[in-house]
C-alpha cells in the first residue's frame, strides 16, 4: 500500500529526516512512535506531498508518487487527518463532513458515503446539525476522521489523534480507530501515546532524531526493554 525509501527531508539547511525506510501493507494499522520532535509529523507531511523530500522516494500502491500534489494524492485515495484537526467550528457537523467529498460530483455516492460515516459514528449523526465548535475534543477528532472517510480512502494518515484530549476522549478516539479496521482501510498513526497505540496497531516503527531506530510487531516492541523504559514508563530490571 505505502512504501518509503531512503527519505531525507530538510527545512532549508536543517535536515529533519534521515534515510527513512518503511512499508505498510494493505489493511494494516501501523504506528510511528517517538518523542516530540522526532520527525513523525514531518514524515506524514512529506508522504502527503506537503513537504518536498531532499532525497528518496514515496510509493503508493506500487506507483511512485514522490512530488505529487496533495490534492491529487487525496483523489487517489489518501486521507490526512492532521494534529490540528482543522474543523470548521462555525459550520455544522454535516457541513464539515460534506467538505470531505468536495471533489466528488456524484450526489448518490456522496449520500451513500455520508450514510456509512453515520453508521460507523452514530454520535455524529445525532449531532449532524450541531455547530462543530461546540463539540468535545473527542467528538471533534471523530468528526475529523469521519470527514477523511467521506472520500472513501484506501489509506489514512492520522497525526497525534489523542493530542490534548482527556483520558475519556482518548479512549473514544482509539475505539474509533479500531472501528476503521472493519472498513478495510489501511492506517498509519503517528502518536506519542505509545501504550494505547501499541494496543491498536499490528506493527510499529520507533523514530528518534529524524531516523527510524527500531521496528517490529506491537507485541515485540511492548516487551522490548528500551521501549518499556523510554516510552512506556516501566522500570526494567538490570
What structural domains does the chain harbor?
Answer: 2-230 (3.40.50.300)
Q: Hey, is 21 helix, strand or coil?
A: strand
DSSP 183: G
What pLDDT does 68 receive?
Answer: 93
Instruction: Give CA–CA dist 60/127, Å, rounded.
Output: 35
pLDDT per residue over 186-230, tens digit each?
999 998 888 889 989 999 999 999 999 999 999 999 999 888 888
Q: How far is CA 230 from the centre of its chain?
A: 23
**CA nearest neighbour of 219 among 199, 234, 235, 237:** 199
Name the residue with higher pLDDT: 105 or 150. 150
Grade residue 177 by pLDDT with cuts at 50, 70 and 90. confident
Segment 196-202 long-range contacts (CB within 8 Å, at least 24 positions apart): 196/162, 196/170, 197/31, 197/33, 198/31, 198/33, 198/222, 199/174, 200/29, 200/31, 200/174, 201/29, 201/30, 201/31, 202/28, 202/29, 202/30
- Tell me the pTM: 0.86
pLDDT in tens, 50-96: 999 999 999 999 999 998 999 999 989 999 988 776 789 999 999 99
- Over residues 98-134, the pLDDT tens digits come to 998 887 788 999 999 999 889 888 889 999 999 999 9
Among 17-21, 42-46, 66-70, 191-195, the least confident range: 191-195
Amino acid at each position: 500500500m505505502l512504501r518509503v525509501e531512503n527519505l531525507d527531508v530538510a527545512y532549508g539547511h536543517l535536515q529533519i529526516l534521515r534515510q527513512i525506510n518503511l512499508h505498510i501493507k494493505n489493511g494494516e494499522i501501523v504506528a510511528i512512535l517517538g518523542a516530540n520532535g522526532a520527525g513523525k509529523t514531518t514524515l506524514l507531511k512529506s508522504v502527503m506531498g506537503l513537504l518536498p523530500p531532499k532525497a528518496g522516494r514515496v510509493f503508493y500502491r506500487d506507483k511512485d508518487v514522490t512530488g505529487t500534489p496533495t490534492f491529487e494524492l487525496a483523489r487517489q485515495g489518501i486521507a490526512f487527518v492532521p494534529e490540528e484537526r482543522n474543523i470548521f467550528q462555525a459550520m455544522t457537523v454535516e457541513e464539515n463532513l460534506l467538505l470531505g467529498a468536495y471533489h466528488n460530483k456524484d450526489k448518490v455516492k456522496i449520500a451513500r458515503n455520508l450514510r456509512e460515516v453515520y453508521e460507523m459514528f452514530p454520535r455524529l449523526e445525532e449531532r449532524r446539525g450541531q455547530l462543530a465548535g461546540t463539540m468535545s475534543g473527542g467528538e471533534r477528532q471523530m468528526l475529523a476522521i469521519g470527514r477523511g472517510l467521506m472520500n472513501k480512502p484506501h489509506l489514512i494518515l492520522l497525526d497525534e489523534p489523542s493530542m490534548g484530549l482527556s483520558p475519556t476522549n482518548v479512549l473514544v478516539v482509539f475505539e474509533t480507530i479500531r472501528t476503521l479496521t472493519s472498513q478495510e482501510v489501511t492506517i498509519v498513526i503517528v502518536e506519542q501515546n505509545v501504550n494505547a497505540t501499541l494496543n491498536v496497531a499490528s506493527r510499529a516503527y520507533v523514530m528518534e532524531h529524524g531516523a527510524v531506530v527500531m521496528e517490529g510487531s506491537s507485541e515485540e516492541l511492548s516487551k522490548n526493554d528500551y521501549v518499556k523504559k523510554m516510552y512506556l514508563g516501566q522500570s526494567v530490571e538490570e
